[in-house]
Structure 1
Amino acid sequence: MKFNFLKLGTTASVLLLSSALVSAQQPTAQPEIGLNDLSSFKDPGKTWFISSGVTAELNTTNSLNTAKGSGVLVNIPTKKNHGSDLSTIAEHGDMLLELDYLMAKGSNSGVYLQGIYEIQLEDSWGVKIPLSSNNGGIYERWDDSKPEGQKGYGGYAPRQNTAKAPGLWQHLKVAFQAPRFDASGNKVSNARILTVDLNGVIIHDNVELFGPTRGANSKEKALGSLRLQGDHGAVAFRNIKIAPLPLEMLNGGQKGGNNPDPIYIDAPSNTMIRSFVDVAEHQRVVHAISVGSSQQVHYSYDLDNGLLLQAWRGEFIDATPMWHERGNGSSKARGSLTPFTKKPVPSITKLANSQSAWLTDTTGTGFRTKGYIMDTEDRPEFKYHIYGALVTDAIKALENGQGLSREISLDKPIDNAYLLLADAVDITELSKGFFLVDDQSFYLKFENSKDKPVIREVNGRKELVILLRDKLNYSILF
């Protein structure tokens, strides 16, 4: 096992602003922009429309499939109609912005705060070292008078790549502080992006904006529209919310206090750590292993149930809760987390049929964990006994960094044994052996499976199960 430790401290400078200047920048509270129609936007172009749902084609560039209805804002440019940007009628200064977005394969878009400062949206699935031009980046500024190769400057790359696959919903939260101007219209302080949270991870913290980014539609100002880029690729948005910025967040807030320096574990190569892992509904898995990879795709495994708990993309482990002072034994994922189950249950259970109740524990199954062995590339393969058979569970990061592969094999048959693949809000089969899971959070892909996975409803949720014979291979894409 290889551990790399990194401790980070944070400092912030605080600028004093008059209450008059601060209040002048606040927008009218707009809890959510209505997406029943396009009436919240100025002069929408023909490539923008309202839908009730949208999915993407993983193998087709710039392609989205839509359904009739409302609640989702969609833009699909074509070769004949390259599309145009879309701006809100309402204008904002300081604000909290929150929205979901979904990219088509190979697509590119952006969110322009006040119409002039761009946060890049892009299909950056699997990118290892993100740039300012990748998903979540603060786009560069531009100067045509500079020499070739130097015209673009001043962009900010995200701290890590937390981008999801095309066709999966991504969640963006931005705290923005507008530039300040005196009574004569002269700028007295620059705009700031105080935080950008992408898919649950802070990727920018208190970034000063020294001027408009490339593609700005005006000069800097106190108030401006929210602008969505529409001429680069297919994209969808939902749940767009704007709220005033709390005063305590101005200029990055007062940071410091008694918070400990974080204790981080990196995974420059295959890395493992034993710890408690907390899952949904405040349940703690006490015999868990988290496995990291150089592909920046990691996962946690429940040794007591032979269960794949969660996976994430980005950086590996925050061990502060476990190792700071006396600690509580738990660790946390540092990247964008994708949970696979609501609560720990046995991964394999005997069922009379595919609709029978799942066991809640391994009592009576003869379950005995046998730990793990390392393969030729130093990756763990977990082993346990259940119902008299030896199970080998090999979970590996895909070489392209786009998810995980999993192979489960039995050394002898188990009559009527089923494997739990997913426990989710919803599960949809998009095509044969290809499933979209949990409000479009991840995909499951089966190739050459002897048996068809079964979607079943349990207490208002959906489960995906499959009859387990001698061996099963599938991929998890997120």
Structure 2
Amino acid sequence: MNRISCFLITGLVSILLACSNNPPQTTSSEDVKEVIPDFLPFKKVPLNDLSEFKATTGNWQIAGDVYADRNTESALEVTEGVGILANIPTNEARNNIFTNLEHGNFELELDVMMPKGSNSGIYFQSRYEVQLFDSWGQKDPHHSDIGGIYQRWDDSRGKGNEGYEGHAPRVNASKTPGLWQHFKIIFIAPKFDGSGKKIENAKFEKVWLNGVLIQENVELLGTTRSAAFTDEVPKAPLMLQGDHGPVAFRNIQYKMYDGQKVTFSELDLKEYESSDDSIPDFTQLTPIKALRVDSITYAHGSSDSKYALVYQGELNIPNAGDYLFKIHFGGAGGQLIVDGKMILDMQDGFYFDQPGIAKTTLAKGSVPFTLVYNKPSRHWRKGFALFVEGAGIKQHPLHAPSSTNTNREPTPIIVTASDEPVLQRCFMMIGDEKRTHVIAVATPEGIHYAYDLQIGALLHIWDGEFLDVTQMWHQRGEPQLGVPAGASVALHGDPDFAFLEGDAGAWPDSTQTNVTFKQIGYELNDIGLPTFSYQFGDLKVTNEFIPRASEKRLNRKILLSGNADAFFKVAEGEIISQLPDGAYGIDDKSYYIDFPAGNGLEPQIRKSDGMDELIVKIPSGTKEIAYDIIW
């Protein structure tokens, strides 16, 4: 067995985990600060009716909800309402649908639901297809699988050779039929000179499926098969394929970019001595250096520490509108003043993972700006990075490459699964919270999970590659974060069991302080998979996770001993619903929970703090809880 962690000896683990009966609470500070997103908002396509699209046939309709039975070919049922664009083709009606908007450079996000065995496509500029397909369980994806860039086609190449230049996704990041899947796609349109001659090919810069990067810098020498048009143009509508199979879309949003950038002019630099985290009044100081420059970079500094750089000049703003600035400092502080307004004031030492973010509205034209980089200490970290995004302007750096090493990302360090289980201790994020007692488990079946040993909770499940440990093993590895390397499903992360005063009692987000909680440790079975045990009050709880080789499915079996009534929290999400096949769609059909028939349990869906929870009352004497998690 491949044992990476030094904590895998069962007896030692048991001792280490049992050293505290009541682990400290894992909740973060109650102080709540306004969080500014690090991107400008997308423009949403309203799906109240079909008015955002050109006229088409009756296979396209607006719905309030959709259901695709994961076991039935091409099944898609719709419920009346708004918010979802559904396609149910028939022999009489099966046309494609085109947006009214025409796009060039385009960033698109949307959710898609694929019924079992179905097939569709997203055609950028009606010409370049990102394939949609039910690829669940496909081990070796092709260009024809979901997220593939479809082939071009030429009959003159001869039978069997007509298709060419298709691009398979790097990995199969798809979900089970009937679940919502999320795409983020950045498309770069072809460019033409003044005479209409193409001078640059179209390109898919990046394609993410369910959070996994599956395509990058795929150049398109021409239109793909089944495009609505074979010529290439600067702008054209988005097309959704309607003639192949049923499909549903929601949360369609986009940004359009015109190719322009924010630039500098009249840029001057002054360098000062500085030995204080508080930024001084530079008008009262004499600079040690002053010169005209054409870029901003910490490399302009004369020494490694105890100095400040002050840049002043003009920002050339291509379009009127909102602009978002994001700045990173390496063990330093600074300020950003734009058009006379202090939009960022970061007086103390900040690190690259603590960016300052500010949004401001600017007119077209030149506006004055001042950037201060204050480096008063000899801290080994150095450098800064300044990014901007604006109206019709894609986020881009304003700093020179010499100003930071963030443009030279380390080669990812991936712990791979093998024909034996792999266990790796790490820190791991669940939402915005860092958990510090996590063990990640890889299985030979390619189904992986992360478990919080501190509170006895399942955190993440995923498939594909196992664990990205770059933030643990690169250089000092200070974050100590392990990151699922495949398409991950985040679970609720709260303690599994609680003693509540009735069905409506609030679920604790950490172990209950009035209940004894004691980790017993874990044992490895004959093939090296762990079984986790802990004591919760009068209950001894044992967790076993069994992967299903042919599907993205993890069977969870919990064995109980002791006599106590308790509640078990199965799942949490914005919307939880029981589906016609008896399974539960969790977090608005992000994954399924499926209990075996005749298990004697009575799951209930309840509202709590604005969320749905799926809980089960566990009567005294219950011996086993079992269910499948499917995604």
TM-score, normalising length: structure 1: 0.88
Residue in structure 2 matched with residue 20 of structure 1 by the alignment: none
Residue in structure 2 matched with residue 77 of structure 1 by the alignment: 89
2:249 to 237, 242, 252: 237
Greater relative contact order, per chain length (Cα 8 Å cut-off, separation 6+):
1
Residue in structure 2 matched with residue 21 of structure 1 by the alignment: none
Q: Judging changes above 3 Å, is the alpha-carbon distance between structure 1 residues 147 and 377 closer, same or farther for their aligned structure 2 residues? A: farther
Separation in 2, partners of 1:3, 1:123: 36
Q: Following TM superposition, by how much is the alpha carbon of 1:408 offset from its aligned partner in structure 2, in angstroms?
A: 0.5
Separation in 1, partners of 2:445, 2:122: 28
Residue in structure 2 matched with residue 155 of structure 1 by the alignment: 166
Give yes or no for contact 2:131–2:147 (8 Å, CA) kept in 1.
Answer: yes
Q: Following TM superposition, by how much is the alpha carbon of 1:147 offset from its aligned partner in structure 2, in angstroms?
A: 3.5
Question: Between the two proteins, what is the percent identity of the paired residues?
Answer: 40
Q: Following TM superposition, by how much is the alpha carbon of 1:305 offset from its aligned partner in structure 2, in angstroms?
A: 1.6
Residue in structure 2 matched with residue 25 of structure 1 by the alignment: none
Residue in structure 2 matched with residue 14 of structure 1 by the alignment: none
Q: Judging changes above 3 Å, is the alpha-carbon distance between structure 1 residues 449 and 407 closer, same or farther for their aligned structure 2 residues? A: same
Confirm or deny that 1:175 pairs with 2:186.
Answer: yes
Q: Report the AA paired with residue 136 of structure 1.
A: G
Separation in 1, partners of 2:601, 2:152: 54
Give yes or no for contact 1:55–1:66 (8 Å, CA) kept in 2.
Answer: yes
Q: Report the AA paired with residue 399 of structure 1.
A: A
Bigger CA drift: 389-398 or 345-354?
345-354
Q: Judging changes above 3 Å, is the alpha-carbon distance between structure 1 residues 236 and 3 closer, same or farther for their aligned structure 2 residues? A: farther
Structure 1 runs of 4+ with >4 Å offset: 246-250, 252-256
Q: Following TM superposition, by how much is the alpha carbon of 1:416 offset from its aligned partner in structure 2, in angstroms?
A: 0.8
Give yes or no for contact 1:37–1:70 (8 Å, CA) kept in 2.
Answer: yes
Query: CA-to-partner distance for each residue in 1:293-349, whole Å, 9 max, x for gaps?
Result: 3433321111112211121233221111111111122111122221111xx432122
Q: Following TM superposition, by how much is the alpha carbon of 1:415 offset from its aligned partner in structure 2, in angstroms?
A: 1.9
Separation in 1, partners of 2:42, 2:137: 35
1:93-112 paired onto structure 2 within 5 Å: 93-112=104-123
Residue in structure 1 matched with residue 362 of structure 2 by the alignment: none
Bigger CA drift: 37-46 or 363-372?
363-372
Confirm or deny that 1:462 pairs with 2:474.
Answer: no
Give yes or no for contact 2:538–2:564 (8 Å, CA) kept in 1.
Answer: no
1:78-157 paired onto structure 2 within 5 Å: 78=90, 80-81=91-92, 83-157=94-168
2:625 to 447, 472, 478: 472
Q: Report the AA paired with residue 286 of structure 1.
A: T
Q: Give the secondary-structure state (helix, strand or coil) at the position aligned to 2:155.
A: coil
Q: Following TM superposition, by how much is the alpha carbon of 1:228 offset from its aligned partner in structure 2, in angstroms?
A: 0.3
Gaps of 5+ in 2: 5-40, 262-392
Matched pairs, number: 448
Bigger CA drift: 59-68 or 355-364?
355-364
Query: CA-to-partner distance for each residue in 1:201-222, whole Å, 9 max, x for gaps?
Result: 2111111111111111212222
Q: Give the secondary-structure state (helix, strand or coil) at the position aligned to 1:145.
A: helix
Separation in 2, partners of 1:349, 1:271: 31
Separation in 1, partners of 2:571, 2:106: 37
Separation in 2, partners of 1:321, 1:96: 28
Separation in 1, partners of 2:173, 2:118: 16
2:548 to 389, 398, 403: 398
Separation in 1, partners of 2:514, 2:216: 51
Q: Report the AA paired with residue 500 of structure 2.
A: L
Residue in structure 2 matched with residue 363 of structure 1 by the alignment: 513
Gaps of 5+ in 1: 5-28
Q: Judging changes above 3 Å, is the alpha-carbon distance between structure 1 residues 272 and 351 closer, same or farther for their aligned structure 2 residues? A: same
Residue in structure 1 matched with residue 451 of structure 2 by the alignment: 301
Bigger CA drift: 95-104 or 140-149?
140-149
Select the structure of larger CA radius of gyration: 2
Residue in structure 1 matched with residue 306 of structure 2 by the alignment: none
Separation in 2, partners of 1:41, 1:261: 43
Please give the root-mean-square deviation of Cα atoms over the aligned residues, in Å.
Answer: 2.3
Give yes or no for contact 1:3–1:265 (8 Å, CA) kept in 2.
Answer: no
Q: Report the AA paired with residue 441 of structure 2.
A: V
Confirm or deny that 1:415 pairs with 2:564.
Answer: yes
Separation in 2, partners of 1:122, 1:368: 47
2:73 to 42, 51, 61: 61
Q: Judging changes above 3 Å, is the alpha-carbon distance between structure 1 residues 414 and 463 closer, same or farther for their aligned structure 2 residues? A: farther
Give yes or no for contact 1:161–1:313 (8 Å, CA) kept in 2.
Answer: no
Q: Judging changes above 3 Å, is the alpha-carbon distance between structure 1 residues 261 and 86 closer, same or farther for their aligned structure 2 residues? A: same
Confirm or deny that 1:449 pairs with 2:599.
Answer: yes
Give yes or no for contact 1:116–1:217 (8 Å, CA) kept in 2.
Answer: yes
Separation in 2, partners of 1:431, 1:367: 38
Q: Give the secondary-structure state (helix, strand or coil) at the position aligned to 1:330.
A: coil
Residue in structure 1 matched with residue 585 of structure 2 by the alignment: 436
Give yes or no for contact 1:291–1:299 (8 Å, CA) kept in 2.
Answer: yes
Give yes or no for contact 1:368–1:385 (8 Å, CA) kept in 2.
Answer: yes
Q: Report the AA paired with residue 464 of structure 2.
A: G
1:225 to 237, 259, 271: 237
Give yes or no for contact 2:120–2:240 (8 Å, CA) kept in 1.
Answer: yes
Give yes or no for contact 2:446–2:549 (8 Å, CA) kept in 1.
Answer: no
Bigger CA drift: 237-246 or 106-115?
237-246
1:334 to 478, 485, 494: 485
Give yes or no for contact 2:540–2:562 (8 Å, CA) kept in 1.
Answer: no
Give yes or no for contact 1:91–1:223 (8 Å, CA) kept in 2.
Answer: yes
Give yes or no for contact 1:305–1:362 (8 Å, CA) kept in 2.
Answer: no
Q: Report the AA paired with residue 491 of structure 2.
A: F
Q: Give the secondary-structure state (helix, strand or coil) at the position aligned to 1:392.
A: strand
Give yes or no for contact 1:353–1:416 (8 Å, CA) kept in 2.
Answer: no
Q: Give the secondary-structure state (helix, strand or coil) at the position aligned to 1:174.
A: strand
Confirm or deny that 1:385 pairs with 2:535.
Answer: yes
Q: Following TM superposition, by how much is the alpha carbon of 1:195 offset from its aligned partner in structure 2, in angstroms?
A: 0.7
